[in-house]
Amino acid sequence: MHERPAWARDLMKPKLLAAGADWDAVRVSADVGVRAVRDMEARGVPVGPVLHDLSSGLAYFLTPPGTAQHWEQEGTRALGPGSWVVLAPPGWDGLLRWVHGPTDGPAHTTVDDLAAALVAAVATGEEAGR
């Protein structure tokens, strides 16, 4: 168990937080996001916080600040300064749920590891759809 990050310490319920200071976020469809998390876990790659928004069917990977400036991957959207994301407290059990919580691993998922896992997750999804 890791220490709760500063942005999560005062969260008692879901709250709209600004991207770009403590983290950027990469938004993907939840099915791809969950497959990417499982891929990284299977390969022993450290996974940072990943939030699943059940109401929208999207997942948000928290990445190092600055990621959004250089992120380019089809089927995803990087959220940095000027963007906002509703985050839930660790252990929250509602329409927002942590696939990988803010105290389960490192503060962020590294960009290279995330990019590789998303490519693998998309390929796995395409194979399953055939």
126 against 129, higher pLDDT: 126
Q: What is the pLDDT of residues 1-18, one digit of tens each?
A: 677 788 888 889 999 999
For tokens 């985050």, the residue is 87
Q: Which amino acid is at 26?
A: V
Q: What is the pLDDT of residues 79-94, one digit of tens each?
A: 999 999 999 988 888 9
Taking each helix axis from N to C end, the angle separating 111-128 and 30-42, rounded to the nearest 10 degrees, works out to 110
On whether the CB atoms of residues 85 and 14 are closer than 8 A, the answer is: no
Angstrom distance (rounded) from CA 116 to CA 119: 5
At residue 129, the pLDDT reads 54
Q: Number of C-alpha atoms within 13 angstroms, CB side, residue 7?
A: 21
- The residue extents of the domains of the chain are 10-125
At residue 1, the pLDDT reads 61
Question: Is the whole-model pTM more than 0.85?
Answer: yes
At residue 130, the pLDDT reads 46
